[in-house]
Amino acid sequence: MEVIERVYREEFGRVVASLTRRFGDIDVAEDAAGEALLVALEKWPVDGVPPNPGAWLTTTAARKAIDRIRRESHRDAKHQAALVMVDDTPHEPTGPVEDDRLRMVFTCCHPALAPEARVALTLRLLGGLTVAEIAQAFLVPEATMAQRITRAKKKIATARIPFRVPSLGDLPERLGGVLAVVYLVFNEGYLSSSARTSVRDDLTAEAIRLGRLLRGLLPDEPEVTGLLALMLLIEARRSARLSTDGVLVPLPEQDRGAWSRPLVDEGHALVRECLRVNRPGRYQLLAAVNAVHTDARSAADTDWAQVAALYDRLAVIDPSPVVQLNRAIAVAELDGPEVGLALVDRLPLEGYHPWHATRADLLRRLGRSAQARAAYDAALALIDNPAETAYLTRRRSEVTG
């Protein structure tokens, strides 16, 4: 039973994408994939899992879809005939760009859809998560999430959002939107904005799975490689990030021996690949920053000059104050907390809790205790995440004088 569900989950995106291309209707594809699962649950325990379960599920689902289209009397006869006459052989992918899942990614992440709908659709149609799982992960009622997904699918149909990989000219920008969705899923799992965590580990795993899928489909896009590297290098540190009593452990205090060596190695290899291609972008630069950290044997060995240089390059692409804040943290390590604080204080980030937490830390190191405590309070007032709250509360209590 568990094997069937695992295989189904792995193959779901492929089945739905393939049927969507063939029948031009996401709902038909999704329902047929669900019916194929019921058949698998009935047959596989008896006959065993077929050698190519993906092809088996696609063929079975396609038959179910044709049955449904035949049954539905409101469809006009011409439409029915066209669908039923379609070639019944399974789709043979002719190359990575022809993969139906890639079309599905771009459809789910189309800029004409609301950002929260893009995330939900991607998790549903490519990740194969149930509506209930997605609702739980984003802490909204299931009915709300179901409505969000239904509305988005309806817009895809009525506005005719194409099921297609964008033209070369549009690809960089549209790919940026896709990567943003994957990174958002990852971040929601990694540093959730709320108290519940169990489902959130699934989100980071799912984001990495989508990242690997995208890299398989678009191996020559360095930003795709960069995003995967970034996620792997952050994920590598996950077990060292929380103490046993659930308090956030910041990077300098982490037990580096607890980092996942295979993930670090894989991430470093991908970063080196990006360097060879030499077309830097946002995710590649963030991955490189993380590689500097995971390269250092101890926090004191960190090459902060390199980190600051990478943030300088990132600031050219993305001149946002958040990038400046991260650069200032590196500068504080290089040139001292006073120089770092002067940079931090210039940034318009009063509503962003890491800004307050960074100020608090720099003020603490400068011995300006009363101001440090006030900054910790300001940071604490802005967060819900229990691990971060515990960490900052501890830090605040350590300020003396």
Partner 1 sequence: MPQYFLAVNHDEAEAARLSALTPEQMQPMFEAVGVFNQQLQDAGAWVFAGGLEGVESSTVVDGTGDRPVITDGPFSESKEFLGGFWIIEADDLDAALDWATRGSKACGGRVEVRPFQG
Residues that bind partner 1 (CB under 8 A): 110, 112, 158-162, 164, 166, 170
* The pair of three-digit structure tokens given for residue 330, joined into one six-digit string: 């590196």
State which residue, 22 or 293, has the beta carbon closest to partner 1.
22
Minimum CB distance to partner 1, residue 166 (Å)? 7
| Residue 199, phi then psi, degrees to nearest 5 | -75, -20
Q: Tokens 């360097």 map to which residue? A: 275
Minimum CB distance to partner 1, residue 72 (Å)? 19
CA distances from 45 to 1, 5, 128, 255, 328 (A): 7, 12, 21, 45, 59
State which residue, 170 or 312, has the beta carbon closest to partner 1.
170
State which residue, 159 or 195, has the beta carbon closest to partner 1.
159
State which residue, 177 or 216, has the beta carbon closest to partner 1.
177
- Cβ atoms of 40 and 10 within 8 Å: the answer is no
How many CA atoms within 13 Å lie on the side-chain side of 303?
13
State which residue, 158 or 298, has the beta carbon closest to partner 1.
158
Q: Which helix (H) or strand (E) holds 373?
A: helix 369-380
Residue 242: beta bridge partners? 248
- Cβ atoms of 357 and 349 within 8 Å: the answer is no
Minimum CB distance to partner 1, residue 153 (Å)? 14
State which residue, 71 or 160, has the beta carbon closest to partner 1.
160
* The pair of three-digit structure tokens given for residue 376, joined into one six-digit string: 């910790």
Minimum CB distance to partner 1, residue 171 (Å)? 12
User: Cα(79)–Cα(77) distance, rounded to whole angstroms?
Assistant: 5
Q: How many helices (H) and strands (E) does the chain have?
A: 20, 0
Minimum CB distance to partner 1, residue 13 (Å)? 22
Say which amino acid occupies 264. V
Minimum CB distance to partner 1, residue 178 (Å)? 15
Minimum CB distance to partner 1, residue 198 (Å)? 38
- Chain length of the chain: 401
Rg for the chain (alpha carbons), in Å? 24
Q: Tokens 């996942």 map to which residue? A: 260
State which residue, 102 or 285, has the beta carbon closest to partner 1.
102
User: Cα(386)–Cα(200) distance, rounded to whole angstroms?
Assistant: 14
* DSSP secondary structure string for all residues of 203-233: HHHHHHHHHHHHHHH-TT-HHHHHHHHHHHH
Minimum CB distance to partner 1, residue 160 (Å)? 4
CA distances from 75 to 31, 70, 82, 83, 161 (A): 17, 8, 11, 11, 21
User: Cα(328)–Cα(347) distance, rounded to whole angstroms?
Assistant: 10
State which residue, 153 or 237, has the beta carbon closest to partner 1.
153
User: Cα(337)–Cα(129) distance, rounded to whole angstroms?
Assistant: 45
User: Cα(169)–Cα(189) distance, rounded to whole angstroms?
Assistant: 32
Minimum CB distance to partner 1, residue 246 (Å)? 46
- Cβ atoms of 179 and 150 within 8 Å: the answer is no
State which residue, 70 or 164, has the beta carbon closest to partner 1.
164
Minimum CB distance to partner 1, residue 172 (Å)? 15
State which residue, 112 or 275, has the beta carbon closest to partner 1.
112
